[in-house]
Amino acid sequence: MVDFLDERLLEEPSKADQRKYILNLLARICQASRCFPARLRHVPIDSTSRQLVSAGGLGIVYRGNYKGQNVCVKAIRTYNAKESIILPALGRDLALWAQADHPNVLPIYGVYMSDPTMKESICMVSPWADYGDLRCFLKKHPATSCAPLIADIILGLEYLHNVDLVHTELETTNILISNDLRAMIADFGITHILQGSSDTNTGFTGCSNWIAPELVQEHSLPTKASDIWGFACTSFEVPNPANYATNTVLTMGN
């Protein structure tokens, strides 16, 4: 049923209300059955073409090749979570993300376990953005007009919320710049899903400097309202990327 609904959404054009109904049905089935469309599991990345781009506490980013085009392969640490736990937990958000059809939301091609150079990782495959993330782009191009980029973020976030997707960590490093210089929201839901796969998880402890105050409290989970907080902080950062404080406590104090 999951694959049938996923394929119908891809192949058959439908009215907006019909598409939303089918999309909501797909999301509910994926959440209840803890699965996602099979097409997202089969992403043949050319391993010989991979180039290491960056590495950090959460994982490693490569540039790879998929169907003749450059892609981003983000290998994210799963903190000892097993494949049988983590992949089903991603089901609902992956199904919705894979159906995203909006210029201000980064598409996803697929997901697989795990990266051969890093144990216990989940690899997310998405289009490669030559201009990088919004923070780096603004530092390199300080004369860029900020208003159109902020408008792009608003439209992308509105789209996600309309299909009941909460980003959880909205900030300039999770917003990429497309080849036509549009802002695209990326990496939504990843951190809180990985944390939620742990039996010892007691609340949201994301690494974003723009975490809403209520999420610092134990047992609090991300909501659309906390996304709005993240958007407001991001909008403040966009005109001043060079002044961004890397210390989380300092940033929230400011």
Kindly report the CATH number assigned to the domain that includes residue 83: 3.30.200.20
- 30 and 145 fall within a common domain: no
> Where does the pLDDT of residue 157 fall: very low under 50, low under 70, confident under 90, or very high at 90 and above?
very high
- 86 and 140 fall within a common domain: no
193-213 average pLDDT score: 54
30-50 average pLDDT score: 78
- 178 and 194 fall within a common domain: yes
Contact between 35 and 69 (Cβ < 8 Å) = no
- 66 and 161 fall within a common domain: no
pLDDT at 156 over 90: yes
Instruction: Check residue 154 and give its pLDDT.
Output: 97
User: Any residues with CB less than 8 A from the CB of 90 and at least 6 apart, and which?
Assistant: 36, 111, 122, 189, 193
- 173 and 122 fall within a common domain: no
Boundary-marking domain end, from 109, 128, 147: 128
- 160 and 188 fall within a common domain: yes
> Where does the pLDDT of residue 203 fall: very low under 50, low under 70, confident under 90, or very high at 90 and above?
very low
Q: Closest Cα to residue 50, out of 25, 26, 75, 30?
A: 75
Kindly report the CATH number assigned to the domain that includes residue 229: 1.10.510.10
Q: What are phi and psi of 111, to 5 degrees?
A: -150, 145
- 167 and 88 fall within a common domain: no
Average pLDDT of the chain, as a whole number = 79
Total structural domains within the chain: 2
- 214 and 241 fall within a common domain: yes
Residue indicated by tokens 């019909």: 18
Instruction: Check residue 243 and give its pLDDT.
Output: 60
- 86 and 143 fall within a common domain: no
> Where does the pLDDT of residue 219 fall: very low under 50, low under 70, confident under 90, or very high at 90 and above?
low
Boundary-marking domain end, from 95, 128, 161: 128
Domain range for 252 is 131-254
Of 54-58, 131-135, 164-168, highest mean pLDDT: 131-135
- 145 and 53 fall within a common domain: no
- 188 and 109 fall within a common domain: no
- Rounded Cα gap, residues 155 and 102, in angstroms: 9
- Print the SS3 string covering the chain: CHHHHHHHHHHCCCCHHHHHHHHHHHHHHHHHHCCCCHHHHCCCCCHHHCEEEEECCCEEEEEEEECCEEEEEEEEECCCCCHHHHHHHCHHHHHHHHCCCCCCECCCCEEEECCCCCCCEEEEEEECCCCCEHHHHHHHCCCCCHHHHHHHHHHHHHHHHHCCCCCCCCCHHHEEECCCCCEEECCCCHHHHHHHCCCCCCCCCCCCCCCCHHHHCCCCCCCHHHHHHHHHHHHHHCCCHHHCCCCHHHHHHC
171-185 average pLDDT score: 92
- 112 and 137 fall within a common domain: no
Boundary-marking domain end, from 128, 143, 176: 128
